[in-house]
Homo-oligomer: A and B are copies of this chain.
Amino acid sequence: MRTVTIADVARHAGVAVSTVSYVLSGKRAISATTRQRVLDSVRVLGYHPNAGARALASKRANVIALVLPLRAGMNLPVLMQFATSVVATARQYDHDVLLMTADEGPDGIRRVAASAMVDGLLLMDVEVRDTRVPLLRDLGEPSVLIGFPADAEGLTCVDLDFHQAGALCAAHLAERGHREIALLGAPEVVYERGTGFAERTRAGFLAEATGRGLHAVAVPCEETYDEVASAVKLLFDAHPGLTGLVVHNEAAVGHVLGALRALGRAVPEDVSVVAICPDDIAERARLTSVLIPAEELGREAVRLLMAKLDGLPAGSILLEPRLTIRESTR
């Protein structure tokens, strides 16, 4: 069963090879009758263009690389949703997806780029000081990052708008009449690393709360139960009138609820809790939350990458956060 080539199609349809190519790519006008004849032959013979040959001749592989941080400890549901969305969206643009793990590091990126195996790259979970970022810059390979590195100048990045997410949570609590609220954030070290999203959430939260004349504080939060409990206790000791809590730390969310219970503060009767975390965690605990829009992230990332492949300029975008109201706020 020899594979069907474009020459077979051409012969079968009684036209030149180039004509078949033009019918398939639509890059030149072909008369309706010829076009139909060619398409019929394609169908009859079951022709599929050879990817290698096409890539070689056109200098376009029609493949994008998806670089995932496939290490333990990732938020898997988010990652999965994202990957699924990327694959599906890429297919819509007639592209396939090459899966890479972050642990091949910069070399892997250099390799696939230099071998023209992919036309562009999608990097998930970009860190603030990511070693791959400078490489990406001078490699000149079209790419889209999920997350913002320290210096995003000249790069295309997609992320949730954490500033607005923080603000949204503060606003939600304010509208419910809470006057004294707090943000329990990421562990200390995360802020020290200068991780963008933690910092931005905090800024948005404080700005919005202050703007609305609320009394607001933001404190970091470790992830073991004991540390969370003591942080919560300290918070209420210092601010007895606290009635609203925003938790931006998925690992700590459960412990915060436990700690509140231990302190005898009922949710949502005594204190309202808003989480910024993946949907499944919030769903399970019935928490009002701002979710990570993984699917939208994937879709937008691919869209932007495709635009870049077409030579269009593509700026970074921040996705608007959406608050889902559940049972933990009133």
Contacts and interface: CB of A to CB of B under 8 A. Distances in A.
Interface string A54-76: 11100001010010001100101
A34 to B, nearest CB: 24
A60 to B, nearest CB: 9
Nearest to A87: B101
Contact of A115 (B49, B97, B100, B103): B49
A99 B98 CA distance: 6
A44 interface: no
Contact of A52 (B96, B116, B140): B116
Nearest to A101: B87
Nearest to A58: B52
A11 interface: no
A50 B116 contact: yes
- Interface size bracket, A side: 35 or more
A4 B113 CA distance: 12
Given A87-B70, A104-B91, A117-B51, A96 B98 contact: yes
> How many copies of this chain does one complex carry?
2
A251 to B, nearest CB: 14
A315 interface: no
Nearest to A138: B1
The 8 closest A-B pairs by CB, nearest first: A52-B55, A48-B114, A99-B99, A52-B56, A51-B117, A76-B76, A70-B84, A51-B115
A115 B50 contact: yes
Contacts of A101: 84, 87-88
Contacts of A112: 96
Contacts of A291: none
A3 interface: yes
Given A51-B55, A51-B115, A56-B52, A80 B84 contact: no
Nearest to A96: B98
Contact of A83 (B55, B84, B99): B99
A53 interface: yes
Contacts of A70: 80, 83-84, 87
